[in-house]
Amino acid sequence: MSRIGKNPVKIAKGVTVNVGPDNVITVKGPKGELKQAIDPDIKVEVKDDKVELMRPTDQIRHKAMHGLYRSLVNNMVIGVSEGYTKTLELVGVGFKAANQGNLLDLSLGYSHNIVVEIPKELTVATAQEKGKNPKVILTSADKQLVGQVAAKIRSLRKPEPYKGKGVKFEGEILRRKAGKAAGK
């Protein structure tokens, strides 16, 4: 049995889970509504305050999908009840971030500013405290979308290994290299 797949998903208070036609799961909660299509082989049952997923056989494909869809449903339930947040830090002299609605304006040391359009499902905020690096805060109910947009922003200027300049996730530990002076 899949260790992850056999665990039932607990439904938080204020969250409703419906299994529609074509095995589409809809999760509604205070933070929004999410939908996920599930493979027809995986059976989904909503009992009391739990969602159980069952697979028909012990084939490798079914085992993999069992754990995958259980994790996706769990992430949806957590997302619509609590939400997900990713914080990015801009490390570097003159690096700035500003947002106007869902347009994020980044100054990352290039000859021009980079303007990124954030999807409407996400909320973006920027913070600049004196003596600290500028931050970009992404919040949404959809875990996949938050991670994908954060990775896209990080890819605009990845942290370099010598001084650590670039866009990094908050709390990310970078491997630093010694400069050429260390070789002497």
Residues 76 and 92 in one domain: no
Residue 22: φ, ψ to 5°? 60, 25
Per-residue model confidence (pLDDT) at position 5: 85
Residue-range definition of the domain harbouring residue 100: 84-169
Domain boundary among the residues 81, 113, 132 is at 81
Q: How confident is the model at residue 182 (pLDDT cuts 50, 70, 90)?
A: low
What is the chain's alpha carbon radius of gyration, rounded to the nearest angstrom?
21
Q: Looking at residue 153, which CATH number applies to its domain?
A: 3.90.930.12
Q: Is residue 149 part of a domain?
A: yes
State the total domains in the chain: 2
DSSP secondary-structure letter at 21? G
Residues 99 and 64 in one domain: no
Q: What are the tens digits of pLDDT across the range 11-29?
A: 999 999 999 988 899 999 9
